[in-house]
Amino acid sequence: MPATPPSVVAPADAGSLPGKRVTLGADVPMRLDSGAELGPFVVAYQTYGTLNADKSNAIYICHALTGDHFVADRHPITGKPGWWEMLVGPGRPVDTDRYFVICSNVIGGCLGSSGPTDIDPATGQPYGLNFPILTIGDMVRAQKLLVEHLGIDKLFCVIGGSMGGMQTLQWAVAYPESVFAAIPIATAARHSAQNIAFHEVGRQAIMADPDWRNGQYLVEGTRPERGLAVARMAAHITYLSEPALHRKFGRNLQDRKAVTYGFDADFQVESYLRYQGAAFVERFDANSYLYITRAMDYFDLAADAGGSLANAFRPGGKTTPVRFCLVSFSSDWLFPTSESRAIVHALNSVAGNVSFVEINTDKGHDAFLLDEPEFHQVIHGFLEGCAEHRGLTVRRRGR
């Protein structure tokens, strides 16, 4: 791969995207969990706030499956506000007047970081399925290199929801001395059979689309839009709770007083799902979707620690020094509270430093992206407490 790979085309021309980019693994390629090597590779990232003199105020935010590094500024393709603007910004729970916030596009992604849409230097063509398979561990390994590149020895905190929560856990387990605190939200220590099953449906929907062309659609000038839309529709149902769908849509009809006795979108929920599918293919790459879902499927902290989750939090026989705050949402059936509780129990069993809050909401898994004041208060409060322990001086604008 060239030093600055001409990161390719659909759906976003990475070179023209806002935000920061760094090439890593140029001297020594990064060894992946699969045994393959990756390097040089690009990590696209964004930062907010100012790193303090002793570099102790850095917070790493890890994004979810289809997220990106535009946490608190406008999405370059959709034009929508940053996906966590409610949580991250001046005076917000993750206060950018006080903390230096970093977020990077995961490797394997499609918004600037190296992934299957990049040109494979071996062929001069987009990688497609020749891009190496990644794990959550690999994603975090790349993030660690970025953090080192930024000259930061120890992150004040790592925060993430869903797959971002997996990365947060991975950070704490792989680099316990480099993380002061961790907030894994709406996540799990391993992907469940049901969640693997839903991912497999999405992958099969993509691969069933003849325009997928065995992953070589960029070369062949097609895009598996129908398959990717179906994958998104199936996934989207899992992000919402049944009560939320009922409250939002119920059996309401779309622009009509009666059913039409046909296969058009009679019900609002159908129209909504179709829109979600159509909007998604505008901003996301099908192969990236395959790679990232696969990384989530492979995630299993306990398996990596010899079958015991507790052991994952006792590296070298010594309890992890990381302070944890776990958050789950009562109506989240994709990453239910029981998954967070399993992590809490493992941490308790090694006398780890952990707090845990289940937020009562009917918004399902998506709640971590939505206006949930109690959730935001929990984040604020936990960070305040950690800042005090860490001895972070308060530095606010105009105060």
Give the residue ranges of the annotated binding site for substrate: 232, 366
Instruction: Give the contacts of 137 (CB within 8 A, at least 6 positions apart).
Output: 33, 170, 174, 304
| HSE-up of residue 321 (Cα within 13 Å, Cβ side) | 13
Among 51, 77, 133, 150, binds its own copies (CB under 8 A): 133
Answer for the pair 165, 185: CB distance below 8 angstroms, yes or no: yes
Answer for the pair 223, 214: CB distance below 8 angstroms, yes or no: no
Q: Is 332 a catalytic residue?
A: yes
Q: Is 162 a catalytic residue?
A: yes
Question: Segment near its own copies (CB under 8 A), from 47-55, 104-112, 128-136, 314-322?
Answer: 128-136
CB of 13 or CB of 270, closer to its own copies: 270
Asked whether the bond before 11 is cis by omega within 30 degrees of 0, the reply is yes
Helices (H) and strands (E) in the chain, counts: 12, 14
CB of 319 or CB of 330, closer to its own copies: 330
Answer for the pair 59, 94: CB distance below 8 angstroms, yes or no: yes
Catalytic residue among 162, 178, 288, 331: 162
229 binds its own copies (CB under 8 A): yes
289 binds its own copies (CB under 8 A): no
Among 9, 207, 279, 344, binds its own copies (CB under 8 A): 207
Integer CA distances (angstroms), 120 to 6, 114, 116, 132, in order: 10, 10, 9, 11
Answer for the pair 209, 304: CB distance below 8 angstroms, yes or no: no
Element (H, E) at 289: helix 286-298
332 binds its own copies (CB under 8 A): no
CB of 22 or CB of 207, closer to its own copies: 207
282 binds its own copies (CB under 8 A): no
Residues in contact with its own copies by the rule CB under 8 A? 33-36, 129, 132-133, 190-194, 196-198, 200-201, 203-205, 207-210, 226-227, 229-230, 233-234, 237, 240, 242, 245-246, 248-251, 259, 261-263, 265-267, 269-270, 273-274, 277, 290, 294, 297-298, 300, 303, 333, 336
Catalytic residues: 162, 332, 365
